[in-house]
Structure 1
């Protein structure tokens, strides 16, 4: 069945296409997703159906979002897959996932994400996390490392903090380049992201958290005293238990949330200026 879909398609660089072909890897990913018949489940970028096929065998219905019209046509014309699929020819970066799910019936999302859009796509999904039950993604290994990074490490940064604000991050497995066609130049990894029903730390305005993180990490070798100078005083930092001599990677998510709320309470709007 898989061969009927894979024949004759050349990977398109502009879509960042690297097609998964290792059957053991595919089986392990499907096992990690653990789809069940009644799941409200959606695949981003089904490509040549490497994951679509085994997942569709376990569910009653599978939504797929595919930007490549040729691949969408192949899926629509596939006699084995098409009865199970609802195909959305769309850009996942602009897709409204609330059209597929709700708080009462959240969607499960999975996909082998193109490396060139993986970060903005995850940010887009986080903004709709209230209608998402969980996400399983194939990403560059270094991206998964950043998603899961803890304070005091070089991998800890804005992506780590925004992801961990919304989700529990669970790395699943590494995937070598030879599992794909064409083989990418980097090792990949699979991660499970589970949006929190109740966030461990809540901010009053998510935009303020994003602004504080931008200030702190734009020049991450600066001390927090320097990067937040003019917005938050050393005394205010010390009142939150933050030494002004710490750098961006030394500060916890909880502390960044407190700083974001402080900025909001101080009614500081113009925080996008890079400090000299």
Structure 2
């Protein structure tokens, strides 16, 4: 049975916060079923909005940390949930928040949210800083972003975001959500993604900052080859030594191949000093 959706009276959606709130109980139930919340979970919800996900989660989990920036939503959230033992509200910017401050015991964090389209990529990069403390993440994002997160090498959606997220996480496209399930309806489709940080990365960069820089530089000019984008970083012979063709484009390289390039570049820099 789908859950009744309660819309707080009088709240005006704010463009600066990218607010498009879920209003379909069946979709909400499907998201919760995908998350599979357990009583012992230490859950974090980013941008609860009108609490479509908050209610089903707070009635199950032991602790729910809520991150909300909108002043006008703080009081409604307190009125509805302050009496719940699991309720812990943080009136702050999710992009600047230190998620390690939420850790109170050995339990990892489970993070969920219907993320505003305008902050989704920077927020994902910010959360990767805390990957060792995160069990999993379930997000509603613009479908185009989820396509990029889950894309494979050679696909037109494959790019820097794909490589950086897949280096750190296992990614899974769960399902698509149409605009009609939101208030106000966005102009694009949304999708649910599951991200599970690797406990042990399949391919390990010797210097993760260098890895990030090499990936960024490799994709710096979309239509250019590695030979062009990495000019001044690595020459043809150095790229070929990684069993990679300098004439290929970045979007054809696997995460493993980017790690090879970055580790080779790290070794070259160390040899120069």
Same fold, TM-score > 0.5, yes or no: yes
Task: Please say if 1:140 is aligned against 2:131.
Answer: no
CA distance in 2, matches of 1:230, 1:102: 46
Q: CA deviation at 1:83?
A: 4.3
Which residue matches 2:204?
202
Q: Which residue of 1 aligns with 2:28?
A: 26
* TM-fit CA distance, 1:118: 0.5
User: 1 CA distance for matches of 2:265 and 2:64?
Assistant: 43
Is the partner of 2:95 in helix, strand or coil?
A: helix
Q: CA deviation at 1:227?
A: 1.3
Deviation beyond 2 Å, 4+ runs, structure 1: 1-5, 79-84, 101-104
Match of 1:78 in 2: 80
User: Does the alignment pair 1:189 with 2:220?
Assistant: no
- Given that 2:69 and 2:93 are in contact with CA atoms closer than 8 Å, whether structure 1 keeps it comes out as yes
* Cα contact 2:242–2:264 (8 A) shared by 1: no
Q: 1:68 to 1:125 in 2, by over 3 A?
A: same
The Cα of 1:101 is off from its aligned counterpart by 2.6
CA distance in 2, matches of 1:245, 1:205: 25
Deviations for 1:19-73, whole angstroms, at most 9, x for unmatched residues? 1010110000000001011101010001100000111121232110000121111
Which residue, 123, 143, 154 being the options, matches 1:152? 154
Which residue is 1:36 aligned to?
Answer: 38
| Cα deviation, residue 81, structure 1 | 6.2
Deviations 1:67-123 (A, max 9, x none): 012111111112576543100001111111111137932100000001100000000
User: In structure 2, which of residues 61, 64, 69 is the aligned counterpart of residue 62 of structure 1?
Assistant: 64
The residue that corresponds to 1:213 in the other structure is 215
Compare 102-111 and 226-235 and name the one that shifted more: 102-111
Q: How far, CA to CA, are the matches of 1:80 and 1:211 in structure 2?
A: 44
| Separation in 2, partners of 1:223, 1:79 | 54
The 1-side partners of 2:121 and 2:248 are apart by: 27
Whole-Å separation in 1 of the counterparts to 2:62 and 2:236: 58
Matched, 1:96 2:117: no
Given that residues 5 and 75 in structure 1 are in contact (C-alpha distance below 8 angstroms), is that contact kept between their aligned partners in structure 2? Answer: no
Match of 1:238 in 2: 240
Change (3 A) 1:103 1:241: farther
Q: Give how far 1:267 is off.
A: 1.9
Alignment length (residue pairs): 268
Match for residue 274 of structure 1?
none
Superposition RMSD in Å:
1.8
2:178 to 173, 176, 179: 176
TM-score normalized by the length of structure 2: 0.93
